[in-house]
Amino acid sequence: MPEQVDGRGPGDGGGPGPGARRAGPAFGLAEVYNPSMLPTLRPGDRLLLHYGAAVRPGDVVVVRHPFRQDLLIVKRAVERRDGGWWVRGDNPRVVNDSREFGAVPDELVVARARVRLRPLGGQRSPLALASWALSAVRPLRAARSFSSLLRAR
């Protein structure tokens, strides 16, 4: 099953369509549903998205699936190739990425993920709350070493 995100961008529920320019706010939220980005992202995590942001190798991005453009997926941009961005998930056990569908055209790149927001778990003990508070909000920085490793293969 593809790594699906629920892109709840302001106004349109999922970012601009292919080839469309985004009107309105440049930021939105998405929820991660599947495990293709483990350990970086887990199902239930929310992402603060920056629509129209420049993408660099190593960035976490939300793209429209090239074969099902109504489906938003979250992946890591590995490198720019002819025809678009080569994207991969961080979880080596999930293959729903450019190895399956090739480079993603620029017009299908919806947003760059800036921040991961981890949901509060069911435990409410002081130790659990402290642990959650320390890890709940994390900026998503480009994983340069990860993208270099992928290119070397």
User: In the 3-class helix/strand/coil scheme, how is 10-45 assigned residue by residue?
Assistant: CCCCCCCCCCCCCCCCCEEEEEECCCCCCCCCCCCC
Task: Please say whether the beta carbons of 90 and 76 come within 8 A.
Answer: yes
- Rounded to whole angstroms, the Cα distance separating 85 from 102 reads 9
* pLDDT tens sequence across 119-138: 877 767 888 888 777 778 88
Higher-pLDDT residue of 104, 150: 104
Give 27's contacts (C-beta < 8 A, 6+ positions apart): 10, 48, 49, 50, 51, 114
Give pLDDT, residue 2. Answer: 45
pLDDT digits (tens, 9 = 90+) for 47-91: 999 999 999 999 999 999 999 999 999 999 999 999 999 999 999
Angle at 147 (CA atoms; ends 82, 19), nearest 5 degrees? 40
- Give, in order, the Cα–Cα distances in Å from 21 to each of 5, 71, 107: 20, 18, 10
- Non-local (6+) Cβ contacts of 122 within 8 A are none
Split at pLDDT 50, 70, 90, the class of 5 is low
Q: What is the pLDDT of residue 115?
A: 93
In angstroms, rounded to a whole number, what is the distance separating the alpha carbons of residues 96 and 43? 16
pTM: 0.74
The yes-or-no verdict on residue 148 having pLDDT over 70 is no
Instruction: For tokens 């429209």, name the residue.
Output: 64
Residue, of 109 and 18, whose pLDDT is higher: 109
List helix spans (H) across 45-153.
98-101, 126-135, 144-152
How far, CA to CA in Å, does 129 sit from each of 32, 69, 138, 139, 140?
22, 39, 16, 20, 22
Q: What is the pLDDT of residue 108?
A: 97
> What average pLDDT does the structure give for the chain?
82
